[in-house]
């Protein structure tokens, strides 16, 4: 257990292992995304009530699910960097923020475009949508706060505190469709109880959820690698890396 923990704190190890993971994870992710999108767009039946507009579900739900999961990653990394002063956790926190912001944006945008033909409006200030907008601002807040500090150690601390405080928003997002009357529908996939979605639509949806998780992982690792090189530029291992010309 502890040796692994120490390895995660080692930048050259992290840089090497993330490169090895990306070599196979990135092609799989792209393949899964393309397969899932083509499947959802062209090879699933249309929905009885909503017609074809429901096909947006295959990107809307995965983006929203992973945007939330990404917040856990960011806040958890923030907590570790606050408590144990682990620099790699700070790198992970900073790397997660822009990816989470992009996925939250995708969830909101596809939701708006889905809402127009389904509810007759692009936007309503209902609980689910408003709390997702707050999630977007929390992500963007972490990105902006990090840039605002010249002292990066102070920046990391401030961002960690912000992301931990922002955790209160997460249960609100989950429960918003139950707590408040909302245009937004409840969950169709449940871990307990009956899943109210037909298998012909469920399988491509599950594939897309998995693909978005993989996408988040890829983006997180790519951002961490870029950040690692920059932070460690004066160290031996980065110099060696460049001299060996294994840079690509």
Closest CB to other proteins among residues 56, 205: 56
Please tell me whether residue 202 binds other proteins under the rule CB under 8 A. no
Considering only 110, 131, 163, 217, the residue that binds other proteins (CB under 8 A) is: 110
66 near other proteins (CB under 8 A): no
Q: Is 67 in the site for other proteins (CB under 8 A)?
A: no
Q: Which of 16, 69, 113, 172 binds other proteins (CB under 8 A)?
A: 113
Beta carbons of 52 and 60 less than 8 angstroms apart:
no
Window of 42-50, 81-89, 128-136, 174-182 that interacts with other proteins by CB under 8 A = 42-50
Q: What are the residues whose beta carbons fall under 8 Å from the beta carbon of 229, sequence distance 6 or more? A: 15, 238
Residue 230 engages other proteins in binding (rule: CB under 8 A): yes
d(CA 72, CA 187): 20
Choose between 187 and 229: whose C-beta lies nearer to other proteins. Answer: 229
* Complex with other proteins: residue 46 or 195, whichever CB lies closer: 46
Using CA atoms, how far apart are residues 215 and 205, in angstroms rounded to an integer?
15
The verdict on 46 binding other proteins (CB under 8 A) reads yes
Q: Out of 63, 66, 136, 205, point to the residue binding other proteins (CB under 8 A).
A: 63
Q: Is residue 145 close enough to count as binding other proteins by CB under 8 A?
A: no
Residue of 18, 32, 36, 60 that binds other proteins (CB under 8 A):
60
- The CA–CA distances, whole Å, from 195 to 62, 76, 153, 189, 205 equal 16, 30, 46, 5, 13
Binder of other proteins out of 12, 76, 98, 188 (CB under 8 A): 98
User: Which one, 32 or 159, has the nearer CB to other proteins?
Assistant: 32
Token pair in block for residue 93:
């926190």
d(CA 31, CA 57): 19
For 206-239, letters b (16+ CB in 10 Å) and e give ebbbbbbbbbbbbbbbebbbebbbebbeeeebbe
> Which residue, 44 or 131, is less far from other proteins as judged by CB?
44
Among 14, 32, 59, 66, binds other proteins (CB under 8 A): 59
Residue among 114 and 146 whose Cβ is closer to other proteins: 114
> In terms of C-beta distances under 8 Å and separation of at least 24 residues, what long-range contacts does 168-173 make, across chains too?
169/131, 169/134, 169/135, 169/138, 170/68, 170/71, 170/72, 172/127, 172/131, 173/68, 173/128, 173/131, 173/132, 173/135
CA distance readout (Å), 220 to 21, 48, 148:
12, 38, 22
Please report, as ranges, the residues that interact with other proteins according to CB under 8 A.
33, 37, 41-46, 51-53, 55-56, 59-60, 63, 98-99, 102, 105-106, 109-110, 113-114, 116-117, 215, 218-219, 222-223, 225-226, 229-230, 233, 238-239, 242-243, 247-248
């Amino acid at each position: 257990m502890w040796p692994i923990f120490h390895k995660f704190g080692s930048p050259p190890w992290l840089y090497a292992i993330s490169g090895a993971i990306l070599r196979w994870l990135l092609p799989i992710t792209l393949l899964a995304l393309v397969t899932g999108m083509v499947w959802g767009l062209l090879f699933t039946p249309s929905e009885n009530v909503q017609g074809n507009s429901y096909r947006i579900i295959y990107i809307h739900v995965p983006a929203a699910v992973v945007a939330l999961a990404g917040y856990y990653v960011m806040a958890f990394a923030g907590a570790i960097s606050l408590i144990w002063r682990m620099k790699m956790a700070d790198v992970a926190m900073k790397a997660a923020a822009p990816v989470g912001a992009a996925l939250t944006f995708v969830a909101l945008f596809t939701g708006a475009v889905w809402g127009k033909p389904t509810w007759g409006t692009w936007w309503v200030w209902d609980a689910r949508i408003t709390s997702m907008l707050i999630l977007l601002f929390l992500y963007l807040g972490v990105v902006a706060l990090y840039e605002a500090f010249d002292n990066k150690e102070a920046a990391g601390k401030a961002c960690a505190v912000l992301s931990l405080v922002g955790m209160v928003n997460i249960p609100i997002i989950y429960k918003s469709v139950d707590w408040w009357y909302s245009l937004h529908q409840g969950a169709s996939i449940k871990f307990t109880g009956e899943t109210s979605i037909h298998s012909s639509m469920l399988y491509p949806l599950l594939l897309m959820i998995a693909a978005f998780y993989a996408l988040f992982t890829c983006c997180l690792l790519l951002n961490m690698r870029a950040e690692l090189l920059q932070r460690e530029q004066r160290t031996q291992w980065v110099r060696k890396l460049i001299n060996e010309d294994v840079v690509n």
